Amino acid sequence: MAEEDTAIAKTFPVKSKLKTSRKSTSNPESKYWKSFKPQPTQTLISSITSLSFSPTPPHDFAATHSATVTIFSTQTLEPKATISAFTDTATSASFRSDGRLIAAGSHSGIVQVFDVKTRSPLRKLRGHSRPVHLVRYPRVDKLHLFSGGDDAIVKYWDVASQTQISELLGHKDYVRCGDGSPASDDMFVTGSYDHTIRLWDVRVSGSSSVMEVNHGKPVEDVIFLPSGGLIATAGGNSVKIWDVIGGGKLLYSMESHNKTVSSICVGKIGRESEEESHQYRILSVSLDGYMKVFDYAKFKITHSMRFPAPLLSIGFSPDCLARVIGTSNGIIYAGKRKVKENVGSMEDPQKRVLRPSYFRYFHRGQNEKPSEGDYLITKPKKVKLAEHDKLLNKFRHKEALVSALSGKNPENVVAVMEELVARKKLLKCVSNLDTEELGLLLRFLQRHSTMLRYAGLLMGLTKKVIEMRAEDVRASDVLKGHIRNLKRSVEEEIRMQQSLQEIQGIISPLLRIAGRR
Amino acid sequence: MIRGGKSFVSSPPAFSNDAKKLLICTGNNVSVFSTSTGLQITELEGHTALVTSVIVVPASTPASKILCYCWTSSLDGTIRYWDVSVPELMKTIDIRFPIFSMVIPGLLPQQAESNEKPPDLFAYVSTKNMKEQEQLPNNLSGQIRLSKKKILSGQIRKCNLTQSRLARGVTLAETQNPELITICSSGKYIGIREKCTIRIWDVPAKDSDDAVLKKIRLHRTKKLSILAFHPTERIIAAGDVTGRILIWRGFGQKTFSISDKSINRGLMKNEDERSGVRGDDDADSCTTWHWHSAEVKVLFFSSDGAYLYSGGKEGVLVVWQLDTEKKKFLPRIGSPLIYFINSPDPSLSSISCADNRVHLLKMPSMKILKSIAGIKLPCSVPEIYKGSCNGFGFDHTAGLVAIRTENYCIQFYSLFDDREISEVQVCERNHQPGDEVTVIVTLVALSLDGSVMSTVETKLPDEGIGGLVSLKFWACGAQSKDFSLSTIIYEPHRDAGVSAIAFHPTRHIAVSSSYGGDFKIWVRNHEIQQKDRMLQNGGWTCHAVGSYKKKPMTAATFSADGSVLAVAAETVITLWDPEKNVLVAVIGECLEPIARLSFVGKSEYLVSASRGSSPQVSVWSMSKLSVCWSYKLHAEAVACSVDDSSFAILALPISSHHMESNETTLQGMEDGMILLFNVGDPVPVVTWFVRKAKGGGLAFLHMTSASLEENISDEKPAPVLLAYINGDHEYVLFDPYGEQAPERSVAHQGSLVGLEETGKFGYASIFGELPEFNLKRNQSPSVAIVPSGKPWETIFSGSSHNLPPLTKLCTAFLESLLEKRTAILE
């Protein structure tokens, strides 16, 4: 019955043509990555050389910048603690697997280990003669760490005794990056400016690498992918993925950055209770200011995001709630994802039985929500009509046109005009407009007649209006001004068209040649 | 053979006495619809020509309300008496003149005295003088003017229904055309309107064969279109062509009044007092009301006489309060109104609209309860755009036809069931029935599986500005034919009109050809199934553009396997590979632009049809790339069967050439013929002559639905049916290879539904149906609990008053405590 009712008394408001919707990028994945709302935190003193997350909840993160390591809380994104016991620029902070200790290198060549809570320096590992850019704890092992410096040496340390267990030689240039293997705590990779990435195994006697791959560009960052079988390396404009188990075979080279890729990390699509949770992605940041998300299963960029500054470092929280990006000018873009408070629905407290002695008894059931199986009787929705629609329904055509013109939305005006064309009343309306309303129309035409979407209708209309109302325009100075403006915008459009045509003339032979090949 | 698509609004319908049935004249039959469901219950079959009026015999006692008898009159010259509830023909009176309208005044007063012999029942019929007819064969329209003499072909005559004969020598009036007789609801007066005059007769209470009827005339300067009598007072309302309504009060005071007093009163009134009454017309006063902007087509007094309903071309029902002239409106009915009928139930009435729809109104609130929709009538198209409109879209398997309607919709009509399936609003615009046509849905095409529809609508420019052509693709929802918009393409071929759309037989590819000299191939993007179950429908995008020597492309079609695309470039046929968009071959040279192209089934032949001054139907062989045979025929429609190699052509006579009329001329001119060809053979297999072929359509339908097989179980199940729709959208479905001629009419009972007493009462009428309680849910726990071994929990649960007596419970309880040994009997 309701349907029958609507079928007869339907009123359609006038609608303009639909816009061509741009290819929407909001697939669920980019929605996920956009859900990390990046907000710049307070500016630190200089560029953020590294960012690392604590492996234990609440997953604080440490940022190294100038001669300090600042530990931020992930919840508030505010600095929690500052460690400034460095004599030179601090680099490469790394949390121990239990999150209680943090190690960091510095340009002075000393690797220091701090207690995260008390911030007191516990150990100083001296051995590098040049700035240390790589300090890493293995994934599980709490007793050792490895470091690499500009002296092209990689060292493996016993932290407790502050002694170096082995010295791994092989790189021929600065060692700038490295990562411990998730599969074995005795293995790690390091990348160097000599374009090579070396895989080390401390169990192997002798200080030569187990494997070596050549990236082709100075290596800025190297990470193990979670399986342990693949590594991703960043250097130059490219990120490359290598199969370690397969003997260092290059699987893919992602070259979509325009400047040096400065840092990469593993990101995770962690959505609870969905079959596709825990899909891993490579997040890469580059000096061109772009952060890209790379799906290394499909070898496809799934999301990319632009920041206003060169990006130096990136970190992703293990619980998938935060992503931080450090820039060269000291701003950290920390993005936090909101999670729904998943509070277990508590049992409703026993409701008191309402008796007629309560006032609420008489109000009972008024706020009742319909349950799923209920048959809902809804009020018929009132159709909201705009002013011009109401006027059109009353066949007051000129008023409708003027009402749309005095509104702000050009689409409405064009829609009303199209409807008037369909009723064959547009020109009659135009001839009935008084001077003021004509001014309104001319101003609208001046603004919008050269827009591509409306030009088809409006250019023809403009011609007609000028033809029909020439007398009135001559009589009024205001209208003359409008006409002058109109002329100017039309001339500008013609100029633009000409220059576009010129460009087309230049390009089309090129395309022709390219097509022939 | 199935016939259908009849007009529901050719003559006024009638309600049964209990207002549960609505009797609608549909062609040669009277269809009985249930007012509560809006579905057809039964049909009264028997007349051999159009039924022109149906009159329900009013019930004299409340008990007899459920019985329903009716009188019908028809153009075949018979008056018939029916028992609707059985349904059964009870009496036939042949008066041998086509009856255009009939009223029976004697029915209306309640006949209380039953001991007396009931007086003879008289009907007044509006007939056509057949003698004049015989002088002028071939002329049926009745609008004949001989060079000098005016022929009065219409006659109002009296017919004695009880004795089944025409009252001798009684001809009340002769009119130029047969007119519609209007009757007062008390049965006292009958009237007709003729041009600018109204003639009214006073029907005597005791009517007899030779009773003399007093008559008066009322005049008006404008041509009148309709009149209505007030049920109790001497008030007559008439509508004219300019939209004015005239109300004469106290008509016939002088002539009809028998008592002297009223004569005196009438005489006392001097001429000045009779405001608005023209000349010496016999009426007290005449007032004019003006709201309608166009001709008034509906006038009807409410049964208490307090309101007057009026309607016309605007599609607005206006309710006038008779004393105060206050107006109430039911706007946006969307189509010109033709009839308004009220029912014995004061809360129900019906409006018949020109778009072949009957709306049932809930009365005081004027809400539309149900709509009984017939097939939509052809929409009027400006002459220039006639050529660019195609007729129908057919869903060959489901037996549906998609019809373009006036109010920018596509109506899906089931040919098998003869009822409307759905309506799709193509262009979201308010339709004003009176307006000039400026937006037209020009083309509609359905894909072979019926899942995709494509429409083209054209907005005509106003003095060169604002014209727009838009191509729309629609995707079908699940099963039912509700299409949702998938893609809109504005100006698909710049500003040129689209001449044809064709779908690829198997894949989601479509082609649109334009008069602008190019054709475009559209493909649907792959559907993207997203994780959150939101099926994002892929839109249609242009895949390729092709043109041939900048010639207008006038028709396009895909071959049965989809490997060849044939596009007619004015007079030649170009063949393309739709995948690679490569021109394969160019064949032929017709004299006129080709209007239709079609591959014949899976064969290698292509049929082309061109219109114009030298029309041609040609069959082309694809293997030889040359013409096989051709005819000089104007083909209105071409239909090709999908499987075998036959095709049918609906041919119109070329220009003024007339068919020799055989004995079927009585049923009207046969102005077209259907020719069924086997593709290799230029001699037609079968030929049928048909009427109203202009604007008609043809299609081969495949019968697959099981219900249909049942209906024709007595015959050999026909795999293919040929459907022919004529210019008035009446259709016939028949087996092209069957023995029977299409004239034979076979009843179809498939769509008839029994009259259900679906009227809701009590709780259900207020709150609607209660959802059915899921009994299973109640049962399943009890089933689950029994093996759990704790039946006492369920035995004693529940309030004490609905527990079974304790003696019963006790045994059950004790039984439950006993350990049951599972029987191991294999």
* Position A279 confidence tier, pLDDT thresholds 50, 70, 90: confident
Show the tokens assigned to B531.
Answer: 């994780």
Evaluate if residue B86 carries a pLDDT over 90: no
**B573 and B496 part of one domain:** yes
Name every chain A residue with its beta carbon within 8 A of the beta carbon of B436. 424
Residues B163-180 pLDDT 10s: 777 766 667 777 777 788
Q: What pLDDT is recorded for position A505?
A: 93
User: Which residues pair with residue B581 across a beta bridge?
Assistant: none
The reply to whether A27 touches chain B by the CB within 8 Å rule is yes
| Rounded average pLDDT over B19-47 | 86
Residues B200-238 pLDDT 10s: 888 777 766 666 677 888 888 888 888 888 888 888 898
Using CB atoms, pick whichever of B436, B468, B488 lies closest to residue A424. Answer: B436
Q: What pLDDT is recorded for position A502?
A: 95
- How far apart CA B4 and CA B403 sit, in angstroms, is 15
Name every chain B residue with its beta carbon within 8 A of the beta carbon of A422. 429, 438-439, 459-460, 462, 466
**B235 and B346 part of one domain:** yes
Most confident of B148-162, B350-364, B750-764: B350-364
B466 domain residue, yes or no: yes
Element (DSSP H or E) covering residue A351: none
Evaluate if residue B812 carries a pLDDT over 80: no
* Position B704 confidence tier, pLDDT thresholds 50, 70, 90: low
Residue B663 DSSP label: G
Most confident of A112-116, B387-391, B491-495: A112-116
**B585 and B552 part of one domain:** yes
Scan residues 28-47 of A and list those with Cβ closer than 8 Å to B.
28
* DSSP-assigned states of every residue in A307-339: -SS-EEEEEE-TTSSEEEEEETTS-EEEEE---
Using CB atoms, pick whichever of A12, A418, A424 lies closest to residue B428. Answer: A12
Asked which of A403-407, A470-474, B305-309, B665-669 is least confident by mean pLDDT, the reply is: B665-669
**B369 and B476 part of one domain:** no
| Rounded average pLDDT over B552-572 | 88
B757 domain residue, yes or no: no
Evaluate if residue A137 carries a pLDDT over 70: yes
Q: What pLDDT is recorded for position B189?
A: 84
The reply to whether B760 touches chain A by the CB within 8 Å rule is no
Asked which of A342-346, B364-368, B534-538 is least confident by mean pLDDT, the reply is: A342-346
* Cα R_g (chain A), whole angstroms: 34
A230-235 β-sheet, strand order = A219-224, A230-235, A238-243, A249-254
Asked which of A28-42, A232-246, A462-476 is least confident by mean pLDDT, the reply is: A28-42
Name every chain A residue with its beta carbon within 8 A of the beta carbon of B464. 460
| Rounded average pLDDT over A22-27 | 59
B815 domain residue, yes or no: no
User: Which residues pair with residue B498 across a beta bridge?
Assistant: B514
Name every chain A residue with its beta carbon within 8 A of the beta carbon of B461. 421
Q: Look at the block and give the residue holding tokens 């002075």.
A: A108
Q: What percent of chain A has pLDDT over 90?
A: 13
Residues A154-198 pLDDT 10s: 889 998 888 888 888 888 889 989 998 888 888 889 999 999 998
B773 domain residue, yes or no: no
Yes or no: say if A86 and A62 are a contact pair by the CB < 8 Å rule: no
Show the tokens assigned to B383.
Answer: 């002459």
Cα-flanking dihedrals φ and ψ of residue B334, to 5°? 95, 0
**B405 and B360 part of one domain:** no
B561 domain residue, yes or no: yes
Considering its fold, how many domains does chain B have in total?
Answer: 2
* DSSP-assigned states of every residue in B671-698: -EEEEEEETTEEEEEEEEEES--TT-EE
The reply to whether A418 touches chain B by the CB within 8 Å rule is yes
Domain A29-336 has CATH 3.40.50.12140: no
CA angle B251, B255, B258 (to 5 degrees): 110
**B326 and B443 part of one domain:** no
**B586 and B640 part of one domain:** yes
- How far apart CA B32 and CA B24 sit, in angstroms, is 6
B775 domain residue, yes or no: no
User: Nearest CA of chain A to the CA of B326: how many Å?
Assistant: 19
The reply to whether B488 touches chain A by the CB within 8 Å rule is yes
How high is the mean pLDDT of chain B? 76
**B611 and B550 part of one domain:** yes
Evaluate if residue B10 carries a pLDDT over 50: yes
* Position B109 confidence tier, pLDDT thresholds 50, 70, 90: low
- How far apart CA B787 and CA B778 sit, in angstroms, is 16
- How far apart CA B406 and CA B400 sit, in angstroms, is 19
Q: What is the ipTM of this complex?
A: 0.74
Q: What is the largest CA-CA distance in chain B?
A: 112
Task: Record the pTM.
Answer: 0.69
Residues B403-432 pLDDT 10s: 888 888 888 888 888 888 888 888 888 777
CATH number of domain containing B172: 2.130.10.10
* DSSP-assigned states of every residue in A267-317: EEE--TT-TT-SEEEEEEEETTSEEEEEETTTTEEEEEEE-SS-EEEEEE-
Which of B324, B339, B373 is the last residue in one of the domains?
B373
B689 domain residue, yes or no: yes
Asked which of A227-231, A339-343, B194-198, B238-242 is least confident by mean pLDDT, the reply is: A339-343
Q: How many helices (H) and strands (E) does chain A have?
A: 10, 28
* DSSP-assigned states of every residue in A76-103: T-SEEEEE---SS-EEEEEE-TTSSEEE
Quick check: helix, strand or coil at residue A441? helix
* Position B511 confidence tier, pLDDT thresholds 50, 70, 90: very high
Yes or no: say if A489 and A455 are a contact pair by the CB < 8 Å rule: no
- How far apart CA B376 and CA B397 sit, in angstroms, is 21
Which of B373, B407, B429 is the last residue in one of the domains?
B373
Show the tokens assigned to B367.
Answer: 């809400």
Q: What pLDDT is recorded for position A10?
A: 64
Measured torsion, CA atoms of residues B182, B186, B188, B194, in degrees rounded to the nearest 10:
-10
Contact B428 A15 (CB under 8 A): yes
Is the bond into B87 cis (omega within 30 degrees of 0)?
yes
Which of B373, B408, B437 is the last residue in one of the domains?
B373
| Rounded average pLDDT over B351-366 | 86
- How far apart CA A305 and CA A398 sit, in angstroms, is 48
Q: What pLDDT is recorded for position A277?
A: 55
User: Nearest CA of chain B to the CA of A239: how many Å?
Assistant: 29
Evaluate if residue B542 carries a pLDDT over 50: yes
| Rounded average pLDDT over B784-810 | 63
Q: What pLDDT is recorded for position A274?
A: 53
Q: What percent of chain A has pLDDT over 70?
A: 91
* Cα R_g (chain B), whole angstroms: 33
Going by C-beta distance under 8 Å and a sequence separation of 6 or more, which residues neighbour residue A465? A430, A438, A441, A442, A445
**B96 and B238 part of one domain:** yes
A79-83 β-sheet, strand order = A48-53, A61-65, A68-72, A79-83
- How far apart CA B139 and CA B137 sit, in angstroms, is 5
Going by C-beta distance under 8 Å and a sequence separation of 6 or more, which residues neighbour residue A485? A443, A446
**B369 and B389 part of one domain:** no
Q: What pLDDT is recorded for position A3?
A: 39
Evaluate if residue B263 carries a pLDDT over 50: no
Evaluate if residue B137 carries a pLDDT over 80: no
| Rounded average pLDDT over B265-286 | 62
Cα B286 to chain centroid distance, Å, stands at 38
Tell me the residue range of the domain where B413 lies: 385-527+538-655+670-706+717-734
Contact B466 A421 (CB under 8 A): yes
* Position A341 confidence tier, pLDDT thresholds 50, 70, 90: low
Name every chain A residue with its beta carbon within 8 A of the beta carbon of B769. 375
Residues A46-71 pLDDT 10s: 888 888 888 888 888 898 888 888 88
**B393 and B322 part of one domain:** no
Pairing of strands B357-362, B348-353: antiparallel
Q: What percent of chain B has pLDDT over 70?
A: 75
Distances (CA, A) of B15 to A469, B85, B304, B355: 59, 13, 18, 20
* Position B259 confidence tier, pLDDT thresholds 50, 70, 90: very low
- How far apart CA A55 and CA A501 sit, in angstroms, is 59
Q: Which residue has the higher pLDDT, B403 or B528?
A: B403
Contact A28 B531 (CB under 8 A): yes
- How far apart CA B308 and CA B317 sit, in angstroms, is 10
Contact B465 A426 (CB under 8 A): yes
**B368 and B454 part of one domain:** no
Residue B459: closest C-alpha in chain A: A422
Name every chain B residue with its beta carbon within 8 A of the beta carbon of A417. 466
Q: What pLDDT is recorded for position A504?
A: 93
Crossing angle of helices A435-448 and A397-406, rounded to 10°? 60
Q: What pLDDT is recorded for position B770?
A: 53
- How far apart CA B353 and CA B336 sit, in angstroms, is 6
Residue ranges in A387-517 assigned as alpha helix (H): 387-393, 397-406, 410-422, 426-432, 435-448, 452-468, 470-475, 477-516
Evaluate if residue B791 carries a pLDDT over 80: no
Evaluate if residue B248 carries a pLDDT over 50: yes
Yes or no: say if A88 and A108 are a contact pair by the CB < 8 Å rule: yes
Evaluate if residue B767 carries a pLDDT over 70: no
Q: What pLDDT is recorded for position B93?
A: 84
- How far apart CA A426 and CA A423 sit, in angstroms, is 8
| Rounded average pLDDT over A265-286 | 75
Is the bond into A40 cis (omega within 30 degrees of 0)?
no
Using CB atoms, pick whichever of B367, B462, B530 lies closest to residue A426. Answer: B462
B15 domain residue, yes or no: no
* Position B751 confidence tier, pLDDT thresholds 50, 70, 90: very low
Contact A464 B371 (CB under 8 A): no
CB-CB neighbours of B196 under 10 Å: 15
Yes or no: say if A81 and A105 are a contact pair by the CB < 8 Å rule: no
Contact A421 B436 (CB under 8 A): no
B348-353 β-sheet, strand order = B337-342, B348-353, B357-362, B367-373
Contact A375 B771 (CB under 8 A): yes
How high is the mean pLDDT of chain A? 84
Tally A–B CB contacts below 8 A: 83
